[in-house]
Amino acid sequence: MDVNNLSIIKIHKGLLDKEFSSVELAKEYLSQIDKKDNDISAYLSVTPELALAQAKKADELIASGKFIPMLAGVPCAIKDCILVDGVKCTAGSKILENYVAPYDATVVRKLKEQGAVILGKTNMDEFAMGSSTENSAYKVTKNPKDTSRVPGGSSGGSAAAVAAAEACFSLGSDTGGSIRQPASFCGIVGLKPTYGAVSRYGLMAFASSLDQIGPMAKTVQDAKAVFDAISGHDNMDATSWAGELKDEKVDIKKIRIGIPKEYFVKGIDPQVEKTVKNAIKKIQDQGATVKEISLPHSQYALATYYIVATSEASANLARYDSIKYGLAKNQQGKLLDAYLETRGEGFGKEVKRRIMLGTYSLSSGYYDAYYLKAQEVRELVRDDFKKAFESAKGVDFIFCPVSPVTAFKIGERINDPLSMYLADIFTIAVNLAGLPAISVPCGLAEGLPVGLQIIGKHFEDNKVLQIASFVEKLVA
């Protein structure tokens, strides 16, 4: 079998038609990892015993003649900040080098209930802080489309695993673009769901009001199959939404698409702009109404995000204190010395930078000037989207680039934090507003993949997936 051409839908049909077994499939993907991953470095750990045990279970279910869930027997990869019971979970950090997860994240439990086969844990920027997967404490993941370039981040390992056919699908997390940007760079589909649509229980926290788990897959149809499996209310997550996701039929001839003028400005790669605009033109030719809109406060989104996200990270990462779990240095000395030595050795440069920024923003005398002000601007960013969607002349979806550039060279931006942060300039406002958004491949710019970002209204994730599927077929 050629795993390069397999999708969830094809695997499901192949297993039902007895073209291959789940065990054979898992072995084929494990073989693909053996062959390719020395060059790609998508995985931090591979779990062949777990995968083969789950595959055997899936085969038994298929043989029983009972109902077979869509993901049964389908090999997948999990970002290494999402807990899988009994498997090492490092979040790409030395401070958790030997930490083994004591339970399953809710999304992992749901995948296991479906019968999915977990091949391993994927590389990531440390604690999801980065846009290139160069901030991992362990290795640098390479883009399968061009191994001299980054796969994006922080879910770069998850994106690379799917793009290199080292997994059929993967789970990533998106705090400011960490699913959509690597999906764009690697030429795959990546969905950032509405905040609250997918449980965060068992996700290592970076910025709790922004983090969201989502699927990364080869096709929109595959992404929807995974989203259907992992979404839904969870009592273990206080921010989990208990309502129903809207799933009305979308008529391309009746939809109104907004193009934010602030997203097509000086600084965007001309080839990226041309590729995205060509895709939008094709949709317009099918009868969709396309109009220019304004998101006036988007110019402040980057600064707002880096105050809110670092402040929450400063609080969330205080738990790595050398006492509870993870790395523990100088246990015989004074408590402060243990803190300083453990955190000094365990955290990487970018994590330290963000903890310091966040601690400063929350400190006495600066809280009102920075953190409180950022929360006020966050409301303005949310209001921009609300007006765009809900005013009398509002739109149904917003279309724009995922990133102003294609995948950049490894090492090109690692020593320039501001340049790295700007890679997420078109994605972070979506997290500040808690909206659903997807990256769909829409063409190439100088031979490298470009993603079209489709942003929808709160809890209209299924509508976003519908229109994304239409776009996918149109630009293929």
- The catalytic residue positions are 79, 154, 178
Other residues' Cβ atoms within 10 Å of the Cβ of residue 5: 9
- Supply 90's token pair: 């490092």
How far does CA 317 lie from the centroid of its chain? 20
Torsional class of 435: left (φ above 0), alpha (ψ -120 to 50), beta (otherwise)? beta
* Phi, psi of 453, deg, nearest 5: -95, 125
* Residue of 316, 336, 320 lying closest to 328 (CA atoms): 320
Helix residue ranges, H only, 172-300: 180-186, 220-230, 270-285
CA distance 179 to 131: 10
Backbone angles phi, psi at 275, to 5 degrees: -65, -45
Copy the structure tokens of residue 230: 């992992």
Q: Which residue carries 């290139």 as its tokens? A: 132
Omega of the bond leading into 231 within 30 degrees of 0 (cis): no
The owner of tokens 């995205």 is 276
Q: 262 by DSSP, 3-state: which?
A: helix
Looking at residue 227, the DSSP 8-state letter turns out to be H
Can you tell me the distance from the alpha carbon of 338 to that of 332, in angstroms, rounded to the nearest whole number?
Answer: 8
- Continuous H helices in 232-372: 270-285, 301-316, 335-346, 349-362
| Token duo for residue 404 | 């102003």
Report the Cα 201 to chain-centroid distance in Å. 16
